[in-house]
Amino acid sequence: MIAALIFAVSVAALLQFFVSYCRSVLAASAKAQLSEQGREVAGISGSVTGDDFRRLIRLVYLCPEPGGDRNAIRAVRAYFRLLRLVRAGIAKLVPATADWLERECEGCAYFAAVALDRRISFSRDLMARQMANGL
Amino acid sequence: MLGSLVLSICRFVIFMRSGYTSSEYVYFYYYSDAVDTVLLYSCIMGLYQHVLTEMGVSKYLRVGSILLLGGTALVSLLLVREHTNQLTTRFVVELSQNLYFVGVVLTCLLWGTVVKLRETRTRLVQLVLALGIYFSASAGAYALRNMAPDLKITMFVPPLAGTFLPLAWSCTFWKIPEEARLATARVATPNR
């Protein structure tokens, strides 16, 4: 009985900490501006939507890694999956949550766009350095 | 964190030398886990000191943390005192479990304090949240192991949580500048 209670409290706390941690990662990237080059390569013309997330993440994994963002990307991917799961399960029963879930998914997609932008800029720098060394 | 890393390396060395099922590894795992938990408990208290630094309550925090640690140890001892064989080992395992749960409660309270005081330091926020994930995952895994000892998933959660914490903390120190600020209300509440 006590073990079940501890388990329930721990799972609730884990969910709360995980969601807050992911939101803190998203909030840190929300301040970053996307470059024109990044928008062009990612095919983003207007604002980023939640549906863009998977496509952007696939592009992120195609770029060379500058280091340091892999864990954040993993955490946000897990958070996005959790949001989609909640949307599939709860949003139909509680329609009021649908808007909030969509905003969160947009936040995840914007995070992926910022990560992609950073990786594209890293790749350009890398290529420029290689060309300079070659010359 | 450094102490925790040293313990993990020692665990790995014993694991490689003696194997997963060896008594050396099992004993070392549980004993080092208890030391690790006490070290991380002191980390939580250190974070409390950072958050409540302006209130000048560091003396009370220090006394409170020692009393809470002593109390947890006493409760753990009372719970295992009937088992006369392997009393120390049982005590160490019980202490770890109880400290994990105390860690969950303390981190939840710390997070509540961070939100209430509108703490904006991004580093501090992420350190607290990563610690919360670690403690709640570990406490949940221990509780699940007590309920269903044969469940394999409980074997993987503590090492995963143990890998996540140093990575998340390193990432925070490496990528987040000290002067970075964050609106904690945006992180804590569902509505923006």
**ipTM score assigned to the predicted complex:** 0.83
Distances (CA, A) of B164 to A32, B106, B158: 25, 20, 10
pLDDT at A45: 79
Residue B15 Cα, gap to closest chain A Cα (Å):
26
Is A10's Cβ below 8 Å from some Cβ in B? yes
Give dist(CA B20, CA B16) in Å, integer.
8
Contact A10 B137 (CB under 8 A): yes
| pLDDT per position as a tens digit, A84-118 | 888 888 777 777 788 888 889 999 999 999 999 98
B48-54's contacts with Cβ under 8 Å and 24+ in sequence apart are B48/B106, B48/B110, B48/B113, B50/B124, B51/B110, B51/B113, B51/B114, B51/B117, B51/B119, B51/B124, B52/B113
Distances (CA, A) of A82 to A52, A76, A118, B94, B167: 16, 10, 25, 33, 22
SS (H, E, C) chain A: CHHHHHHHHHHHHHHHHHHHHHHHHHHHHHCCCCCHHHHHHHCCCCCCCHHHHHHHHHHHHHCCCCCCCHHHHHHHHHHHHHHHHHHHHCCCCCCHHHHHHHHHHHHHHHHHHHHHHHHHHHHHHHHHHHHHHHC
In this prediction, the residues of chain A whose per-residue pLDDT falls under 50 are none
pLDDT at B129: 93
pLDDT in tens, chain B (192 residues): 777 778 878 888 888 888 878 888 888 888 888 998 999 999 999 999 888 887 878 888 889 999 999 999 999 999 888 877 778 888 888 899 899 999 999 999 999 999 888 888 888 999 999 999 999 999 999 899 888 888 888 788 888 888 888 888 888 888 888 888 877 766 766 654
Contact B130 A21 (CB under 8 A): yes
Backbone angles phi, psi at B141, to 5 degrees: -65, -40
> Taking CB atoms and an 8 Å cutoff, what residues of chain B touch A4?
143, 147
> Taking CB atoms and an 8 Å cutoff, what residues of chain A touch B135?
13
Give dist(CA A22, CA A28) in Å, integer.
10
**Closest Cβ–Cβ partner in A4, A17, A25 for B136:** A17
pLDDT at A135: 57
pTM value is: 0.84
pLDDT at B44: 92
Tell me if B165 sits within 8 A of B134, measured CB to CB. yes
Tell which of A2, A15, A20, A26 to mutate to test the B interface (max B CBs under 10 Å).
A20
What are the beta bridge partners of residue B181?
B121
Tell me if B120 sits within 8 A of B185, measured CB to CB. no
Give dist(CA A25, CA A19) in Å, integer.
10
pLDDT at B192: 46
Residue B130 Cα, gap to closest chain A Cα (Å):
7
Give dist(CA A20, CA A56) in Å, integer.
23
Contact B133 A10 (CB under 8 A): no
Length of chain B (residues): 192
Instruction: Return the SS3 of B179.
Output: coil
pLDDT at A129: 86
Helix, strand, coil % over all residues of chain B, rounded to 5: 80, 0, 20
- Name A75's Cβ contacts closer than 8 Å, sequence gap at least 6: A18, A21, A22, A25
Tell which of B106, B129, B169, B182 to mutate to test the A interface (max A CBs under 10 Å).
B129
Question: Minimal Cα distance from B146: which residue of A?
Answer: A3
Contact A13 B130 (CB under 8 A): no
